[in-house]
Amino acid sequence: MSAQLFDCRDAWADALAEVARGDERVMVVVNDSVGSSKLGPFVAEFPNRSVNVGIAEQSMVGVAAGLANAGKIPFVSAAGCFLSARAMEQIKVDAAYSEHNIKLIAQSPGVAYGDLGPTHHSIEDLTWMRTIPGLTVLAPSDPEETRQVIRWAADHEGPTYIRVSRMGVPAVYPEGYRFAPGKAVALREGDDATVIATGTTTARALEAADLLAAEGIRVRVLSMPSVKPLDEEAVLLAAQQTRGIVTVEEGLVTGLGGAVAECVVEQHPVPMRRLGFRDEFAITGSAEWLLDRIGASPEGIAAAVREILELPETH
Amino acid sequence: MSEHFGLKHQIATTLLDEPDREIRVMGRVPADAGDADAVKHLELAATEVRRRAIQTVGSAKAGHLGGEFSITDALVTLYLEVMNISPEAVERRDPERDRLVLSKGHAANALYTALAVGGYIHPGALRTFLQPESMLNGHPARNKITAVEANTGPLGHGLPIAVGMAIAARVDGSTRRTFCLLGDGELQEGSNWEAFMTGGHHRLERLTALVDRNRLQQGAKVEDTNDLEPLHDKLTAFGWEVREVDGNDIAELRQALSPVGSGKPVAVIAHTDKGYPVSYMRDNVSWHHKVPTHEQVEQALSELDAILARLTEEEK
């Protein structure tokens, strides 16, 4: 894990331009957020393949469906809060139910717009999106994974929702990492407990593992870029081989945490702790401060692991 | 075999194999037909559609006849003449085919029946309307019927999709046209106005939005619910060329739906009557999704048969 922090939007914009150069079907549909989506260079290079519908998110997703009807591969880019909430029915009907080949790029989701307040937070999106049939839901953790996810999405036929954060994150994957949908990545091995993280919280889970290692506690850290499809096999192995599972995410605990809990409770119940927002709107503050506040700091994650290890063994 | 009839899944073969006596598959207006013959062909087709559609609702015990009858003339005019399309072109997903989005998706039964009369789906499939496992849902699904271009039902979705289709045509350097049929009550959904703005901004001249101005929504008059007027001025202000016609007059519809070159998208305000032309249904708000009794079906059929007889008489 490098100390340098990256803005994954740079990786998104680079990867999109790269796939667009190789495939003339690739287009972008955007809601005035050209700058905040870092799409200025793309629009300059591909003016005819850029559609800016203005501040009109519902129509934006519908326009993408019309483009997909003609065989285009539209990447729809907008702030996660507006894309997910404002265009929810269009995502359900025009993208997912219609089986349209649309890529929905949720920019700066979670609490990335921390100080803009709850109206601009998108803590519900992983929960909402994972309940829509047929929609693939991805949250890459670092710039290299963001690049690979965008390339994969361009090749993959089907509706896909991807979180891309502006929050600074370090590179978390080893050299040669290859993203695969529906696959968790074991970034640390360990049999005491498992921490499952996605997106911007993965680096925090790794720091927690380091803190715990200093105490002799060996946690398995699973990065779960696919919230849907979930790597149920990896979750089950974690349930069988370790004492319990901590999930951590930048959003409501019903997103990744809900998905993992459903899998665990149906197939192999073990103690769990889910770190994320509960039944509240996040207050205002920086993204980092808000994540710390909900226990998604390295110290908070480590504490949740210790809680599980203090429980009587169940198997 | 169902693929050959534009249906993406197998349906009960007995339904498909049984000869269908209830509908006359008419196909497209012959290319060399004169205006009078073309109008006659389309009027006959529209009457066929209405005859079958009311029987379908009568037996399925559900449907939206009022708003289906108001756009039947537009549907047959588009599918049987105006659109550059054929069952073969649809079947092979010809990229150059014209597109139609039925934004008022609750009029699905009229769409299915018009597609059957036009030869795009097997008429036998109409008997499966709303049945379990049927491809003929209460709202049209592109996943199930090849000739359906967009999944619609929730209002306010169609025009944005049509705008995207028209932009794609422009990107492709194609002259293909895109049509969208909207309800007037539907215009209360704000997403339409987002799309009207975009269509006007991009001067999508091969995009035509036809507004079914039947003045009634589900429970009341549009004007008593959330007033649309002055609709003509609003659409003009959004950068569209606006044409107003009698939407139950096929000769006028043919004119209004003909190609243009004004550099603007075209909005056709089609003044129609909900339930047209059935006497007890016409302009009557209760017929949004009411199911006719057996006697009402019979009465409508006899009124429609009188129209058929007149058209056929004129033919001689």
Q: What is the CATH number of the domain that holds A194?
A: 3.40.50.920
Cβ contacts (< 8 Å) between B161 and chain A: which residues? 62-63, 65-66, 69, 94
Distance, in Å, from the CA atom of B102 to the CA atom of B152, rounded to the nearest integer, reads 7
On whether both A163 and A224 belong to a single domain, the answer is no
Single out the residue in A124, A142, A170 at which a domain terminates: A170
**Averaged confidence pLDDT in chain B:** 93
On whether both A118 and A13 belong to a single domain, the answer is yes
| Interface membership of A45 toward B (CB under 8 Å) | no
Scan residues 70-129 of A and list those with Cβ closer than 8 Å to B. 70-72, 74, 89-90, 93-94, 97-99
Cβ contacts (< 8 Å) between A49 and chain B: which residues? 171
**Residues 6+ positions from B176 with CB-CB distance below 8 Å:** B84, B95, B96, B97, B98, B99, B169, B206
Question: What is the per-residue pLDDT across B275-311, written as a single tens digit (0 to 9) for each?
Answer: 999 999 999 999 999 999 999 999 999 999 999 999 9
pLDDT at B13: 47
- Residues B194, A49: C-beta atoms closer than 8 Å: no
Q: Domain range spanning residue A56?
A: 5-170
pLDDT at B313: 85
Could you tell me the two tokens for A295? 């226990």
In a domain, A177, yes or no: no
For residue B139, what is the nearest residue in chain A, using CA coordinates? A93
In a domain, A16, yes or no: yes
Looking at residue B290, the DSSP 8-state letter turns out to be: P
CA distance to partner chain B, nearest, from residue A9 (Å)? 25
On whether both A49 and A128 belong to a single domain, the answer is yes
Cβ of B230: how many Cβ atoms within 10 Å?
A: 10
On whether both A151 and A236 belong to a single domain, the answer is no
Comparing A205-214, B7-16, B41-50, B98-107, which segment has the lowest mean pLDDT?
Answer: B7-16
Question: What is the per-residue pLDDT across A49-92, written as a single tens digit (0 to 9) for each?
Answer: 999 999 999 999 999 999 999 999 999 999 999 999 999 999 99
CA distance to partner chain A, nearest, from residue B78 (Å)? 19
In a domain, A141, yes or no: yes
In a domain, A215, yes or no: yes
Q: What is the ipTM of this complex?
A: 0.94
Domain count, chain A: 2
- Which residues of chain A carry a pLDDT beneath 50? none
Catalytic-labelled residue, pool A18, A24, A45, A57: A57
In a domain, A164, yes or no: yes
Distance, in Å, from the CA atom of B15 to the CA atom of B280, rounded to the nearest integer, reads 32
Report the residue from B161, B166, B172 with minimal CB separation from A65. Answer: B161
| Mean pLDDT score, B94-115 | 98
On whether both A72 and A157 belong to a single domain, the answer is yes
Strands of A193-197's sheet in order across? A185-188, A219-223, A193-197, A245-252, A272-277
Cβ contacts (< 8 Å) between B151 and chain A: which residues? 93-94, 97-98
Q: Residue B227: is its pLDDT beyond 70?
A: yes
pLDDT at B6: 73
pLDDT at A2: 60
Q: Residue B2: is its pLDDT beyond 70?
A: no
Q: State yes or no: is A57 an active-site residue.
A: yes
In a domain, A150, yes or no: yes
| Interface membership of B143 toward A (CB under 8 Å) | yes
